[in-house]
Amino acid sequence: MLFKSLAALAAILPSTFACPHESHLRKRQAANETIENPEWAYEASYNWGKLDPMYQLCQTGTQQSPIALSLNNGLSLNHIPTFHNYTGNTTGMYRNWGFGPGFALSRDDITANPSFTYDNETVYLLGWHIHAPADHSVGGDRSKAEMHFVHGDADGHEKAVLAFRLDPGNSDASFFTQLPPMIGFNETGPEYEQQIEMNLDYALQSVLHFNEFWFYRGSLTSPPCHEGIHWFVARQILFTGVEQMQAILGASTYSARAEQEVWQHRINE
């Protein structure tokens, strides 16, 4: 089968590269091809709820993501995360998830993965991936990209996301210095994939281990828009080098959902 767009290619990638979000299959219509699910696009997120009954929450949900944030919201005084096993090297598969670079951990024993605890609940890292531009704006400003560390429960169901806003700064970020060249995407899939080891704590160090963050109850940011996702958005920005940011953007395609109206998100509660 010849895929015609980056969006359609995401259907063949493992769900771990998805924003808790991208695991739902979609295919572009072609000659003599059955559409398993209607294709959706970030550029037309206003219409997702009308494409398929399975996407109804995209239109009717009360805790949809992303949302606009501001210091006027204050910062969270609760849900403080405690991190486990993030230091040292973690092995995973480095690949483009269809919209930008991503990194997936093994699901053989999820409870052996790096994790964090909040509200007496422990969630385990499934992988990370990048959106460009950022999903969340802060004070009306939207960063050039946003990285999501997606965590799930012991059964692998997505439960929480650590969100890092990414912008270019004056020096390279140690987190991205560890990576091979940023992976692009062509019509047959990622340019390559590679098993690598990386110190994930470098990202946490860059935002002072989420000592300041916004917390809210939200959703997946793409169909089927399931709710019940706990979002932790770092106040600090993870700054990259200029060339690092150019590489990230060069390997990415547009992947930010339109911000949703705040309704029952319980920001910082």
pLDDT tens per residue across span 8-17? 434 334 444 4
For residue 236, count other CB atoms closer than 10 A to its CB.
Answer: 15
Higher pLDDT, 81 or 2: 81
Q: Give residue-wise pLDDT tens across range 206-238.
A: 999 999 999 999 998 989 999 999 999 999 999
Q: What is the DSSP letter of 187?
A: T
**Both tokens of residue 263?**
């309704």
Domain edges within the chain: 6-250
**Both tokens of residue 110?**
């999820």
Q: What is the DSSP letter of 254?
A: B
Which residue blocks in 93-229 are alpha helix, DSSP H?
174-177, 201-206
Q: What is the CATH number of domain 6-250?
A: 3.10.200.10
Higher pLDDT, 3 or 222: 222
Look at residue 19 in the predicted model and tell me its pLDDT: 54
Q: Please determine, for residue 51, whether its predicted confidence score (pLDDT) is greater than 90.
A: yes
Q: Please determine, for residue 175, whether its predicted confidence score (pLDDT) is greater than 80.
A: yes
Taking the C-alpha atoms of residue 230 and residue 151, their distance in angstroms, rounded to an integer, is 10
Going by pLDDT thresholds of 50, 70 and 90, the confidence category of residue 108 is confident
Give one DSSP letter per residue of 59-88, joined into a string: HH-SS-S---B-GGG---SSS--EEES-SS
For residue 201, count other CB atoms closer than 10 A to its CB.
Answer: 18
For residue 67, count other CB atoms closer than 10 A to its CB.
Answer: 23
Do strands 121-131 and 137-138 pair parallel, antiparallel, or not at all (unpaired)? unpaired
- Of 17-26, 241-250, 256-265, the one with minimum mean pLDDT is 17-26
| Residue ranges of E strands in 77-202 | 82-84, 90-96, 101-104, 115-118, 121-131, 137-138, 141-142, 145-152, 158-168, 185-186, 189-190, 194-198
Do strands 213-219 and 101-104 pair parallel, antiparallel, or not at all (unpaired)? unpaired
